[in-house]
Amino acid sequence: MDGLSPESLGLFLIAAFVGGVTTGLAGFAMGLVVSGVWLHVLTPAQVATLIVGYGLLTQGYAIWKLRHALDWRALAPYFIGGAFGVPLGTMLLTWIDPAWLRTGVGVLLIVYSIWSLARPVFRPINAGKAADIVIGFVNGWLGGLTGLTGITVAIWCQLRGSPKDAQRAVFQPVTLAAAVFSLVTLGLAGAITAPTVRLYLLGLVPVFAGLWSGLRLYGRLDDAAFRKVILLLLLASGIVLIVPKSML
C-alpha cells in the first residue's frame, strides 16, 4: 500500500496496536512507543501526522471513559500556561537545537524515573494554581520545541500524589489540547496527504483494539501499580530520547 511492502505494513499495524495499548494503559507515550518502529518504514512527516491524528481519537475516547473524574476548573491553569508556552516553544525552534534539548530531557527522565522507582514512599507536593500554570507553560514550551506533550504534566501529577483517575483526568485533556493545536499546524504545513490519510484509516482498527485492551488492563491497576507503570514508561521515554534518530 502506497509503496509499503507487506512486511513494512505489518510492522506499521503491530506498532499501532502496541501504541493503542500504551495509551489505554497509561494515558500517554504512544508517540514515543510507535516512532521507533514507524520511522523505519514511514517518513518523519507521516509519523508526526499519524501520531497526532491517532492522539485526537485515543485521548478523546479515554477522556470520555474518565469523564466522571474531569474537573475543568482544575484544568484551566494548565490550558492557560500551555497557551503561552506552545507558541514560545515553536518560536525558539530557530534558536535552540532540538537534538540537544531531547538529550537533556531524556537524561532527566531517566534520572527521575530510576530515583522514583527506588523510593517506595514519597511525600506528595502540595501546590496551588500558580504552580499549575507554570507547569502548563513548561509542558507547552517543551511540546512546542520537541512535540513531547503530556510528559511534564504526567510527572507533576505523580509528584502531587493524586489518585490514578485524577492524574489521567489532568494530563490527558492537556495532551488532547496540544494534539489539536499540532494538527492545525501540520495541516497548514501541508503534511496531511492522501497516502497518510489512507494509512491512518488502515490503522484505526489495531489502534482501537489496543486502546480497548489497555483500558481493560488499566481497570485492574491500583494507584501504586499505576505509578510504577508511569515511571517505567517515563524511563523508556528517556532512553528513546537519548538514542540518536539514526539508530531508530
DSSP secondary structure of 198-221: HHHHHHHHHHHHHHHHHHHHHTT-
pLDDT at 98: 61
Once rounded to an integer, what is the mean pLDDT over residues 179-202?
Answer: 82
Domain of residue 155 covers 6-247
246 has a pLDDT exceeding 60: no
Model pTM score: 0.72
Whether 225 is covered by a domain: the verdict is yes
pLDDT at 148: 67
Whether 1 is covered by a domain: the verdict is no
Q: Kindly state the cell numbers that stand for 112.
A: 527521575
Q: What 3-state DSSP class applies to 189? A: coil
Segment 121-138, tens digit of pLDDT: 667 788 889 999 999 998
Burial (CB count <10 Å: 0-12, 13-18, 19+), residue 92: middle
Whether 55 is covered by a domain: the verdict is yes
Tell me the backbone φ, ψ of residue 125, rounded to 5 degrees: -85, 135
Q: How many domains does the chain have?
A: 1
Whether 157 is covered by a domain: the verdict is yes
Whether 153 is covered by a domain: the verdict is yes
CA neighbor of 55 nearest in space, from 71, 40, 77, 33: 33
Segment 54-102, tens digit of pLDDT: 988 888 887 887 787 788 888 999 999 988 887 787 677 667 666 676 7
> Is residue 48 within 8 Å of residue 32, measured between CB atoms?
no
The more confidently predicted of residues 129 and 106 is 129
Residue 246 CB partners (closer than 8 Å, separation 6+):
none
Residue 232 CB partners (closer than 8 Å, separation 6+):
113, 117
